[in-house]
């Protein structure tokens, strides 16, 4: 009755179904782990943004790699901006997805060390290779508040660190690169400025990271697992349909044979 399952066509179909089941289970768990990662990241962002600001020197030091647990922690620093060593980061987008620059200004602390401050976004000028006009940083001693971030690398950001760029233009935000230009001790990582708010709204400050969206990953995981259940169900349906078709074909042949046997022999 089920000998047709040993045919080449059905063996291939069955093996394909058996291969799809673990593959789709794995894809479901992959999406589920992405969901868990997103939920954990949202919790980290929310917790760090809500935490009380601390001095930047409490969380980083020269050569320090900012750990993920400290991303987006609010920090404070008192000192003076050093616009003479200001640089811009190419190919950065604004809130409304316009392409321009991020403005990096060294901030010199009272002890002489510096921390790199990302003051925000400005648009391209007429010539993208020319150093743009940058709104002036506050003069004199000032206390700033911002979000601590880790140095960017090509591996972490997906941005290629191009060489032979125009003067005072960079691709990555890197305290190590800026230390070479400044000739002074620089704290690891950098700070996205929150306050003071720039006069006239420029540079456009970088908004807080999203900590509410969890994405569609959980829905995708459930979808893959439903597909897992659908595979054996579909296989059974196909087998039953094949049995039904074979039974119907056999009945038709039997009826035809019976009809032929009842016909009188020709005279």
Domains of the chain, residue spans? 1-14+25-39+215-246, 50-201
Contacts with 128 (C-beta within 8 Å, 6 or more apart), sequence order: 90
pLDDT, residue 58, reads: 97
From 193, 208, 213, select the one nearest 77 (Cα to Cα).
Answer: 193
Question: In this model, does residue 265 exceed pLDDT 60?
Answer: no
- Model confidence at 267, in pLDDT bands (50, 70, 90)? very low
Predicted TM-score (pTM) above 0.85: no
What radius of gyration, in Å, describes the C-alpha atoms of the chain?
A: 33
Question: Residue 174: how many CB atoms within 10 A of its CB?
Answer: 21
Average pLDDT over residues 146-171: 93
110 DSSP 8-state letter: T
- Model confidence at 254, in pLDDT bands (50, 70, 90)? confident
Place of tokens 């459930």: 222
Q: Which two tokens stand for residue 8?
A: 């080449």
> pLDDT tens digits for 84-133?
999 999 999 999 999 999 999 999 999 999 999 999 999 988 888 889 99
Q: Which two tokens stand for residue 3?
A: 């000998």
From 71, 76, 19, 84, select the one nearest 45 (Cα to Cα).
Answer: 71
């Amino acid at each position: 009755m089920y000998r047709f399952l040993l045919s080449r066509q059905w063996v291939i179909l069955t093996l394909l179904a058996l291969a799809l089941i673990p593959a789709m289970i794995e894809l479901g768990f992959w999406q589920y782990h992405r969901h868990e990662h997103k939920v954990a990241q949202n919790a980290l962002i929310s917790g760090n943004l809500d935490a009380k600001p601390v001095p930047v020197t409490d969380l980083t030091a020269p050569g320090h790699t900012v750990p993920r647990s400290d991303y987006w922690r609010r920090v404070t620093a008192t000192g003076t901006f050093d616009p003479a060593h200001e640089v811009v980061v190419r190919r950065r987008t604004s809130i409304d997805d316009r392409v321009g620059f991020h403005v990096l200004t060294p901030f010199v602390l009272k002890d002489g060390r510096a921390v790199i401050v990302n003051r925000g976004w400005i648009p391209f000028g007429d010539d993208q290779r020319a150093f743009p006009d940058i709104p002036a940083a506050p003069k004199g001693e000032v206390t700033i508040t911002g979000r601590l971030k880790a140095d960017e690398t090509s591996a972490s950001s997906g941005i290629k660190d191009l060489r032979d760029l125009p003067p005072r233009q960079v691709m990555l935000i890197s305290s190590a690169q800026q230390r070479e230009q400044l000739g002074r001790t620089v704290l690891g990582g950098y700070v996205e400025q929150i306050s003071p708010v720039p006069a006239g709204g420029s540079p456009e400050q970088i908004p807080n990271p999203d900590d509410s969206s969890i994405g569609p990953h959980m829905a995708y995981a459930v979808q893959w697992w439903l597909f897992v259940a659908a595979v054996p169900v579909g296989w059974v349906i196909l087998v039953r349909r094949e049995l039904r078709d074979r039974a119907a074909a056999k009945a038709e042949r039997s009826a035809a044979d019976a009809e032929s046997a009842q016909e009188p022999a020709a005279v």
